[in-house]
Structure 1
Amino acid sequence: MAADKVFHSRSEGIPSEGVKDQYADGKAARVWKKFIGDSNQRTQNYKNFLIGLLRSHGCQSVLDIACGTGIDSMMLVDEGFKVVSVDASDKMLKHALKARWERRKDPKYDEWIIEEANWETLPTDVAAFLPGKQFDAVICLGNSFAHMLDEDGQQLGQMRCLKNFAQCLKPGGLLFIDHRNYDAMINSGATPGHSIYYNCKYPVDIKTSVLVVRGRPELVTLDYCINASDRGSVNETSEFRLCYFPHTLAKFTSMLDEAFDGAAKHEIYADFKKLSEVPVPGFYIHVMQKGKK
């Protein structure tokens, strides 16, 4: 049973067909930029982790498949990578397009490609504007993949998307994909730890709800309340709801291995550190290296 049938999972105005665009009403998209800040406000640990691994593996071309407002893409463009950014949400993409326009005098940004694409048809969508293109790296970070709910009860759609991600990689290419620590959220009903991605300067409260259907966790709902008031401004409190499929570490690990036909090197990090160093991480980050044959 789809979780939407028993729980109101989306804000008003968000469509119910296809891969969910939980930003379609523009509400979350408007405040998200304040929540995440700009590329210079990314946590240094995250920036060092991602760019360090990309450079150590000789990656040059990067496909950002959940680019949102373009914050990660801009960070990579600034660091000299050739970036293609896609997202299913046109409301989020308009922020990325605006950011590119504002930087149009910088030659690096002339080469930044931004297009709309759907994970379920990703290779075909990318081929429409870059025929035959494969990438040194694909990134899907910031808990983005968990936006895709389990419509069939068997995670078949999710598996199809993971296989599409692998298909977009060159032999030897890297997939960076993460998810929150849903094991801890299911067990405790709370969201662990601080954000490892954002240096948000505004107070943020996250209310966590776990929906269990027939003994199986189907949905985790995070209700964000962000006091985005700047000094001297009128009080501005923004509230929005985002919903996620609660991937457990063990199951998601096995799905990734299957998506790469068991032929990829698979490393797992906890908050950008070794698993053994973080007892209760906020995020798990998976790095898959596609087989070279």
Structure 2
Amino acid sequence: MSADKVFHSRSQGIPSEGVKDQYADGKAARVWKKYIGDSNQRTKNYRDFLTGLLKKHGCVRVLDAACGTGIDSMMLVDEGFKVVSVDASDKMLKHALKARWEKRKDSRYDEWVIEEASWQTLPQDVDGFLPGASFDAVICLGNSFAHLLDEYEDQRTQKMCLKNFAKVLKPGGLLFIDHRNYDAMINSGATPGHSIYYNCKYPVDIKTSVLVVRGKPELVALDYCIDATDDGLITEKSEFRLCYFPHRLHSFTRMLDDAFDNRAQHSIYADFQPLERVDNPAYYIHVMQKALN
């Protein structure tokens, strides 16, 4: 299903990470960049959670499969990991390439690989620029995977992409992938408001719309309103819409297990904490450890 067939953006929106651009205009992209901040503004809980588990499991080479502008990749490079960053959006990759150029005097950035790739052809795309490469870890975070909509209404493309993530992992490797708490959105019609990734200093309002087709939730539209007028560069509030596939926790868990042939160790976290500690999380984070053989 194409989001444009059902929902129309009030502005053209921003590029989505990891898949073909959903929408793109300069105004909303600039404001969104203020919302996500830079690598130094990532929340401490997020940084500690991700890098802590990577180091605990001895991960060295990491594939950022939804790198966007390169924010998370830079955080990992700064932490000493060997990072390969891919995205299907050349517009987003331009920001990552510019960031790498600006860090050219830092030797840690010499080995940062940035290339265009699609989740749907990920093993082939990676083999094209790094023949025979496999990874200790793959990350697909920030609700990026939910940008991939269900065009055929049977989730075949989503299932294929998850299998591709598993294919590029070494035995024992880790996949980090998340999604918003769509169960809460579907049940209440509202988005849990707290952010676990960003330390945005601007007021943000998110309006939630759920599209139900034949009794089944098929798409969630989030209307963002970000008031960044006090920085002097933007004279009005920015409003734009992004559309997502509403992954329910139970069905996404099952789909992930199937992608790893039901042989992976599967851990689920709520806002980077043990699942049972958070009543109404903003995000669910899945960590899959691929079987050793």
Aligned 8 A contact 1:210 1:217 in 2:
yes
1:211-290 alignment runs, 5 A limit: 211-233=211-233, 235-290=235-290
For 2:50, the equivalent position in structure 1 comes to: 50
Distance 1:124 1:224, change over 3 A: same
Q: TM-score, normalised by structure 1?
A: 0.94
* Residues matched between the structures, number: 291
Distance (Å, rounded) in 2 between the aligned partners of 1:132 and 1:139:
19
Aligned 8 A contact 2:13 2:241 in 1:
no
For 1:88, the equivalent position in structure 2 comes to: 88
What are the ranges of 5 or more consecutive residues in structure 2 without an aligned counterpart?
none
- Secondary structure of 1:128's aligned partner: helix
Bigger shift: 232-241 or 84-93? 232-241
Q: What is the root-mean-square deviation of aligned Cα atoms in Å?
A: 2.0
Distance 1:282 1:150, change over 3 A: same
- Secondary structure of 1:192's aligned partner: coil
Deviation at 1:203, TM superposition (A): 1.1
Q: Does 1:203 align with 2:188?
A: no
Aligned 8 A contact 2:222 2:242 in 1:
yes
Q: Does 1:122 align with 2:145?
A: no
For 2:291, the equivalent position in structure 1 comes to: 291
- Kindly provide the CA deviation profile for residues 233-270 of structure 1, in whole angstroms up to 9, marking residues without a partner as x: 55242222111000000000000000000010000000
Bigger shift: 227-236 or 37-46? 227-236
Distance 1:173 1:165, change over 3 A: same
Q: Does 1:108 align with 2:105?
A: no
- Kindly provide the CA deviation profile for residues 3-28 of structure 1, in whole angstroms up to 9, marking residues without a partner as x: 5433336964999xx94412444554
1:12-51 alignment runs, 5 A limit: 12=12, 19-51=19-51
Bigger shift: 122-131 or 19-28? 19-28
Q: TM-score, normalised by structure 2?
A: 0.94
Q: Which amino acid aligns with 2:213?
A: V
Distance (Å, rounded) in 2 between the aligned partners of 1:161 and 1:27:
31
Q: Which amino acid aligns with 1:116?
A: E
For 2:194, the equivalent position in structure 1 comes to: 194
Distance 1:10 1:248, change over 3 A: farther
Q: Does 1:147 align with 2:147?
A: yes
Q: Which runs of 4+ in 1 moved over 6 A?
A: none
Aligned 8 A contact 2:146 2:246 in 1:
yes
Distance (Å, rounded) in 2 between the aligned partners of 1:248 and 1:195:
19
- Kindly provide the CA deviation profile for residues 97-122 of structure 1, in whole angstroms up to 9, marking residues without a partner as x: 11111111111111111111111011
For 1:71, the equivalent position in structure 2 comes to: 71
Bigger shift: 85-94 or 272-281? 85-94
- Secondary structure of 1:251's aligned partner: helix
Distance 1:38 1:161, change over 3 A: same
Distance (Å, rounded) in 1 between the aligned partners of 2:78 and 2:20:
30
- Kindly provide the CA deviation profile for residues 156-177 of structure 1, in whole angstroms up to 9, marking residues without a partner as x: 0000000000001000000000
